[in-house]
Amino acid sequence: MFGDIKFVCVGGSPNRMRAFAQFMHRELGLAGDGEELADICAGTDRYAMYRVGPVLSISHGMGIPSISIMLHELIKLLHHARCRDVTIIRIGTSGGLGVEAGSVVITDTALDSSFKPRFEQAVLGEVVVRSTELDKDLAQELLACSKEIPDFPTLIGHTMCTYDFYEGQGRLDGALCSFSSEKKLEYLRRAYDAGVRNIEMESTAFAALCGLCGLRAAVVCVTLLDRLEGDQIRAPRALLGEFQRRPQRLIAAFIRKRLGVQ
């Protein structure tokens, strides 16, 4: 059932990954309108999975524990199906750092909240440190694709991955405010100076696991706001919808190009 899969696209929300599968169905010119695509994992309520030609579209929920469960199960699936030459891409949302809202950031290296390119995994009570480098050639290939789409601000940069959306990302609009506005900006500016251009919650675990298992991996996230300007996402709903479709448009263009679809 899965032996000919060549692309796996993962993202947080089940609805967005269904929309991506339907979009991909149209972009690949497959028969039918894609409305009838079935969730392969329906009934488990753990994540949603859609298949469109050689593409799998899967949701991973929010945060490292959630994506890590899905990735282990996905990588076992790809192994048992004897898939070869698989490219895996996380398409998501993020908070930008010194970049215009709506920019698409292609991650070169995922950093932890101390700006280090590492993912710490506790194994049998010992902390194991794993590298979070991503495939540089794939990032460049994606950047080249983005240049062919009009009005599509895209850059390559470091992505900081945190365990929390509020205090963990230096926000002052959560239930706890444990630091000053000056300390927050000082932290975010240090992150910017370390090369961080966006902040999200899965990239270090994704990069580490995919890297160790030999999958060519990329992280492509749109920024919903500039964190140097505020904490709250204030863009109107319609604009946010358009922003969230940007990574999908880029990946669809990339897959079409790889498959030679005109």
Binding residues for ligand R2B, rule: CB under 6 A, are 12, 62, 92-94, 165, 200-202
Does position 103 bind ligand URA by CB under 6 A?
Answer: no
**Shortest CB 73 distance to ligand URA, Å:** 23
Instruction: Confirm or reject binding of residue 244 to ligand URA (CB under 6 A).
Output: no
Instruction: Tell the smallest beta-carbon distance from residue 62 to ligand R2B (Å).
Output: 4
User: Which of the choices ligand URA, ligand R2B, none does residue 62 contact, using the CB cut-off of 5 to 8 A by kind?
Assistant: ligand R2B
For the bound state, the minimum distance from the C-beta of residue 28 to ligand R2B, rounded and expressed in Å, comes to 27
Q: Which entry of ligand URA, ligand R2B, none binds 135, CB below 5 to 8 A by partner kind?
A: none
Per DSSP bridges, beta strands 87-96 and 118-123 are: unpaired
Site residues (CB under 6 A) for ligand URA, limited to 73-102:
93-95
Query: Considering the complex, what minimum distance in angstroms separates the CB of residue 216 from ligand URA?
Result: 24
Q: Kindly tell me which residue out of 70, 199, 205, 208 binds ligand URA, with binding defined by CB under 6 A.
A: 199
The residue (of 29 and 230) whose beta carbon lies closer to ligand URA is 230
By the rule CB under 6 A, 146 interacts with ligand URA: no
On whether 46 is known to bind a ligand per the annotation, the reply is yes
* Residue 169 in marked binding region: yes
Determine which residue in the list 8, 89, 201, 210 makes contact with ligand URA, applying CB under 6 A.
201
Three-state SS sequence of the chain:
CCCCCCEEEEECCHHHHHHHHHHHHHHCCCCCCCCCCCCCCCCCCCCCEEEECCEEEEECCCCHHHHHHHHHHHHHHHHHCCCCCCEEEEEEEEEECCCCCCCEEEEEEEECCCCCCEEEEEECCEEEEEECECCHHHHHHHHHHHCCCCCCCEEEEEEEECCCCCHHHCCCCCCCCCCCHHHHHHHHHHHHHCCEEEEECCHHHHHHHHHHCCCEEEEEEEEEEECCCCCCCCCCHHHHHHHHHHHHHHHHHHHHHHHCCC
Residue burial 88-110, b: 16+ Cβ < 10 Å; e: rest: bbbbbbbbbbbbebbbbbbbbbb
Q: How far is the CB of 17 from ligand URA (least distance, A)?
A: 16
Q: Which is nearer to ligand R2B, 83 or 209 (CB)?
A: 209
| Binding site residue list for phosphate | 46, 90-93
Under the rule (CB under 6 A), what is the footprint of ligand URA? Answer: 93-95, 165, 169, 199-201, 224
| Binding site residue list | 46, 90-93, 169, 171
